[in-house]
Amino acid sequence: MMTGGCFCGQVRYEALGTPFNATVCHCSDCRRVAGSPFVAWFSVAPAEFRFVSGEPKRFASSAKAMRSFCPDCGTPLTFQHNDFPAEIDITTCSLDNPELVPPQDHVRTNRRLSWLRLADGLKEYPGTRSAG
């Protein structure tokens, strides 16, 4: 089991099972929500994830996507897309131990900031994995 939560400790979660889709996303939505040049995510099945204390605030960041964050400190926590109901994405660095789920690739690198240079050797997808 993996545990994590927000910066202030108000919202805590548990994630069970084997993580998949461990990635670093470079899309403008992720950047703006996190105030960062990219965001590391991993997925688990929704049945393998639960909030154990506190209640995150949720908002629709697009017509098909819902994000959650701590209403007190603002830490981004989860992302769910209507087209992928079998997964919930969790911000890797909200884990108590982010080393448990290292990224396997980069997605949406066609949106990467021009001043950011990647040197980790991970596979890069200009869009999503399925789109290449």
Q: What is the CATH number of the domain that holds 40?
A: 2.170.150.70
Domain housing 13: 2-112
Residue 120 lies in a domain: no
Residue 125 lies in a domain: no
DSSP 98: G
Mean pLDDT to the nearest integer, 45-66: 96
Residue 121 lies in a domain: no
Q: Is residue 17 predicted with pLDDT exceeding 90? A: no
Residue 21 lies in a domain: yes
Question: How many domains is the chain partitioned into structurally?
Answer: 1
Q: Which amino acid does the sequence have at 121?
A: G
Please tell me the predicted confidence (pLDDT) of residue 131.
Answer: 65
Contact 58, 79 (CB under 8 A): no
Residue 70 lies in a domain: yes
Mean pLDDT to the nearest integer, 35-56: 97
Residue 98 lies in a domain: yes
